[in-house]
Amino acid sequence: MYGKLIIECELVVRTGMHIGGSSVFSAIGAVDSPVICDSYTRQPIVPGSSLKGKLRTLLSRSLNPDIEHMPDHNHDGEELCRLFGSNRPVRPSRLQFADAFVCNEAEMREVGLTEIKTENTINRRDCSSSPRQIERVVPGVRFAVRMVYDVRESKEEAVQDMRLLAKGLKLLQMDYLGGHGTRGSGRVSFQNFVLKDFETGLNMEELLDIFKEAEEYELLPV
């Protein structure tokens, strides 16, 4: 069998989120570390690679008995390589991630989409400071997330893969996305899941229930 399952949801920023863009050139007085933006709209985005990489890392840690000695990604195990792919041997990822774009610009117009956070690094020897400015996406901004899953084998295997993906989304809501997470940045949640079926024959209600469980983790304190 072959078909495609489209998974759409909204990623909600709960605390300032920084996914870094290019800072090859920084004029005097400019932000030291800007967020990555779409070159057309100039609005912040969540790259599909950032979301995919974070989910894979969190799931790999959760499935590995020794997180101090993590395996190479090509040895993540059957279920993870099936979902995210590998290059030795070559296995295409069944899950495709699109870049996520802001979907509530009008709601955030008065506040703006980003803020500048100033931090200081203190030299312990002479107490001198080194201030820096970090751009962050502000809390309340929503990004439209779109993932496409290739159904290639049995329906049972597809359901297993969706349960694994939902687990990764739960783990991410208890972790952080982007940089500076240990200092409070990057807390996110997922809402408003919508599934679209293209010739898979899967039970959409069953799968939607799996993802709706992930929304419960939005209520966890950040």
CA distance 10 to 189: 8
pLDDT truncated to tens, each residue of the chain (222 aa)? 789 999 999 999 999 999 987 554 444 445 678 999 999 999 999 999 999 999 999 999 998 877 777 777 777 888 999 999 988 888 899 999 999 999 999 999 999 999 998 877 787 888 777 778 899 999 999 999 999 999 987 889 999 999 999 999 999 999 999 999 998 999 999 999 999 999 999 999 999 999 998 886 665 555
CA distances to 47, 112, 162, 170 from 23, in Å:
17, 21, 37, 32
Provide the CA 201 distance to its chain's centre, in angstroms. 28
For 151-206, what is each residue's pLDDT tens digit? 987 889 999 999 999 999 999 999 999 999 998 999 999 999 999 999 999 999 99
Q: What's the predicted TM-score (pTM) here?
A: 0.89
Residue 16 gets which letter from DSSP? -
* CA distance linking residue 136 with residue 177, whole number of Å: 12
Distance of CA 173 to the CA centre of its chain: 10
Cis, bond preceding 34 (omega within 30 deg of 0)? no
H or E, element range at 198: strand 188-198
Nearest in space to 36 (alpha carbons), one of 120, 112, 99, 106: 99
Start-to-end CA span in the chain (Å): 42
Are the C-beta atoms of residues 197 and 206 closer than 8 Å to each other?
no
| φ and ψ of 55, to 5 deg | -60, -45
DSSP codes of every residue in 48-112: HHHHHHHHHHHHHHHH-S-TTSPPPGGGS-HHHHHHH-EETTEE--SEEEPPEEES-TTTTTTT-
Cα–Cα distance for residue pair 116/200, rounded to 1 Å: 45
